Amino acid sequence: MRLNHIGVIVKNISDSVTYYETILGLKKVSEIYVDTRQEVELVFLETGIEGITIELISPTSSSSPAYNALIRGGGINHLCYEVNDINGKIDYLRRQGCKLVRSPLPAIAFGNRLVAFLYSSNLGLIELLEC
């Protein structure tokens, strides 16, 4: 597994991009995506570490999985790891005590590659991105 990005829940994508660029000196490296499957808007910012980005995520409805995280104050939400075999890694992590939160589904921001979310009290929320 290789770290791909750090997901951060924000209230407003445009305002947050400006804030991250101004305060932290980060640079927007993607368009703003609207993911209707996950009911979010998202954008990626470079971190200065090759291959690792910050993903800003804003829910587009109250039924979005990101909405409850925003209500709790937002901020750092998950770490995303690249994996070669998403189903195999899910099976492995479940045997280690992780709970599957969201089964694999295509993600528009990754060219419809599969993503899944798992939770562990030791790891927090993690996203798996199939390479």
How many structural domains comprise the chain? 1
pTM of the model: 0.95
Q: What is the pLDDT of residues 64-116, one digit of tens each?
A: 989 999 999 999 999 999 999 999 999 999 999 999 999 999 999 999 999 99
As beta bridge partners, residue 76 has 8
Which CATH number covers residue 54?
3.10.180.10
Q: What is the pLDDT of residues 2-24, one digit of tens each?
A: 999 999 999 999 999 999 999 99
Which pLDDT does position 108 carry in this prediction?
92
User: Mind giving me the DSSP string for 20-53?
Assistant: HHHHH--EE-SPPEEETTTTEEEEEEE-SSTT-E
Q: In angstroms, rounded to a whole number, what is the distance separating the alpha carbons of residues 53 and 120?
A: 22
Domain of residue 111 covers 2-130
